[in-house]
Each structure stands twice: as C-alpha cells, then as structure tokens.
Structure 1
Amino acid sequence: MSDNPFALFDDWLTAAQANEPNDPNAMALATADADGRPSVRMVLLKGHGPEGFVFYTNQHSRKAGDLADNPHAALLFHWKSLRRQIRIEGPVTAVDAALADAYFATRHRDSRLGAWASDQSRPLPSRAEFELRYEAVRTRYEGQEVPRPPHWSGYRVTPSRIEFWEDRPYRLHHRRLFTREGDGWKEGLLYP
C-alpha cells in the first residue's frame, strides 16, 4: 500500500473507473453557511492532485454562497461496488480564470448553454420557463463559441485530512488517516 495519499487516491479512483457503473468521479460535497448550518450535495470531481480536488459550479448557487461565508468543505467518495470510501477535509479556494476557462471549453455545448440559462439554486416557477431561457441562450450563441459565464467557475479543496476506508467482514473495517503536517503527511490508523 502506498504511503502517499495522492498515489493511493489515484489507485482507488482507477479501480472505481473500471468497476463503478455510474459516475466514479461523483463525490458528496459538504459545506456550512456562516451560522454553521450544514448542506450536502453530489458534485463531480474534475481535477485532482497534490494541490487539491477541483469541482465547478455556478457562483450564485447555495454551495458557492456557503463557501463564500465559510471557505472549508468536506468531500466523500463512496464506491459501493468496491466497498470503499474516501473522506477529504480542508480549506477551499477558487480556481483561477484560465483553469475555469479551459475546463468550461471541454464541456458539451448543451452544458455550456445551460450554465448561462440556469440561475442555479434559485426558485424556478416552471420547467417551461427554464426551457425558454435555454432556447434563448441557444439562439444567442448560434454558430459561435459559448464563453464561460462570469458567474461560473471552480473551487479547489486543499486537503488537510484524507481518510481511506475499506469494508471488512463483521464491521472490522480498515481505516487509514493521512493528516497534513507542513509540506508532508502523517499517517495513522483509526478504530473501525
């Protein structure tokens, strides 16, 4: 087993990509608002490495509001088919515009149009209203590139803790915890 949490993460993600039937890069993102009220939702991991774990969203969304008030988050990858999970905690920062632009350009055109049409997390009077907005944006950008909206970007969770959990018979699970210490990592085990 690796003593580098990022190499171990890569190994587990590779196994999930080969075995998990849907969205092996799906992760639960937990945030809390300024009053400490928690909220959790699923997002997709779109980049990772020693600098952190990256996801993208509308900056007017509830999650972005929580992160503006309280720039810390927890992530959870749960791969039921592998009977494994990874928990990550740490501070959150916005990615730079160049990285957000580069990722946005890789999205399917319909997803890019949807980013313009959606007031994510805001009340929607009817599905028909959203579809009308989407069609208006589609017409606006007909025959041209769809630029990244100014209210759409990414966030990076820089881990201070990474826990690797493996299911074992009789709930005698194996838990490895990596805790950041300066530029390195301290490794230990947790009781199941």
Structure 2
Amino acid sequence: MGSPNEPNQMALATATRDGRPSLRYLLLKGHDETGFYFYTNYNSRKGKELADNRGPPCACTGRRCTAWLPSRVTLPRWTLSAATPTSNRARWTAKSAPRSARRAASLLARKSWNRARRSLSERVTAEGAECIDRPEQWGGYRLRPDRFEFWQGQRDRLHDRLQFRRQADGAGWTYERLAP
C-alpha cells in the first residue's frame, strides 16, 4: 500500500470541454531532458479530458500538490503530449513497475468491474497471472513545463513573485517579476 506522502505524488488539474475543472492525484514515474512522465488509461476520465481539450492538451499542478517541487513554486503550467510507444513499452516492462500494478491496469482496461474494493482486489489476484500484457489504451503523457512561478512571502505583504516562461522557440526562459 502506498503512502499518502509518496515523494512522486502530484495533483493534476484538467478541464472538460465546457470548462469544468477536475483534480486528481497520480504518481510521477520518470523524467528526462524533454519533460516529466506519468502513465494512465487513456480511456479514464483524465485521459478523456486531456484528449478533449481544444488545442494542445494542457494541465496544471497546484502549489504544495507536487511533493517533488519546492513548496514556494506556485502554479506550474505544462504542455502535455502522449509518451512515445517506446516509452510506454519501457515503463510497462521496467523492473520498477510493480507486477501488481501492471496486472490491475491490464484487468481494468479489458473488463468491467464493480466498485467494491474487495471484489477488485480478488479479481486482480485471481486473474493476475494472465493479465500482464500492456493494454492498447494504457500509456503515458509527457509534461513539458511552460511556466513556473516562485513565491516568497514577506511580512509587509509585498511578496516576491518571480515567473519563468518558456520562450516561444523553446530555446530558453524569460524571467519577470510579478505584482505582489
């Protein structure tokens, strides 16, 4: 059982087509020079909301919702893209990916289930040996940071707010001070 304070835990905010926001917690599973990665069922609510976004999929993580970012980083914004098939295969077969998680993802992707925890756990255990193929609708997203804002509170309430935005050409970052 995972800890509520897992170091790779993050909150991901998305929105429906009509602009209704939703937030859920998930686990960051990797990073490289191109961004940060999480994996999910593309047919899940978050997968559908990301696919339904007009324009490129975007998301936001909230202050203190990403344990791996300093608490003074506020509202980082990200551009999302689907992870490559190679990345999806690598994550599915990685030694760090628990077999139980792969069994659960495979089972949930191919069968309907009732929402009783015990029933779900029993099915994963009973059918787990045959449920290790990566489902077609399971894969990752790459989060590419577009903006970070750093906040430092001051007693006089003239807080320091510094924003870094990725330049349009992606070659660097623009720095600016924001109003307190």
| TM-score, normalising length: structure 1 | 0.73
CA deviation after TM superposition for structure 1 residue 39, in Å:
0.5
Match of 1:110 in 2: 100
Q: In 2, distance between residues paired with 1:137 and 1:173?
A: 55
Per-residue CA deviation, residues 43-76 of structure 1 (Å, 9 max, x unaligned), is 2222234422211111121000000001111123
State the identity as a percent.
40
Could you say if the C-alpha distance between residues 127 and 34 of structure 1 is closer, same or farther in structure 2, counting changes exceeding 3 Å?
A: same
Determine if contact 1:116/1:137 at 8 Å carries over to the other structure: no
CA deviation after TM superposition for structure 1 residue 125, in Å:
4.0
Q: Which has the higher helix share?
A: 1
Match of 1:150 in 2: 136
Matched, 1:30 2:13: yes
Q: In 2, distance between residues paired with 1:56 and 1:77?
A: 21
CA deviation after TM superposition for structure 1 residue 90, in Å:
3.0
- Where does structure 1 differ by over 6 angstroms across 4 or more consecutive aligned residues? none
Determine if contact 2:39/2:139 at 8 Å carries over to the other structure: yes
Could you say if the C-alpha distance between residues 26 and 127 of structure 1 is closer, same or farther in structure 2, counting changes exceeding 3 Å?
A: closer
Could you say if the C-alpha distance between residues 111 and 49 of structure 1 is closer, same or farther in structure 2, counting changes exceeding 3 Å?
A: same
Match of 2:121 in 1: 131
Gaps of 5+ in 1: 1-20
| TM-score, normalising length: structure 2 | 0.77
Per-residue CA deviation, residues 61-108 of structure 1 (Å, 9 max, x unaligned), is 10000000011111235259x643343213211001111111122311
Determine if contact 1:28/1:77 at 8 Å carries over to the other structure: no
Q: 1:64 aligns with which of 47, 57, 66?
A: 47
Gaps of 5+ in 2: none
Q: In 2, distance between residues paired with 1:171 and 1:104?
A: 48
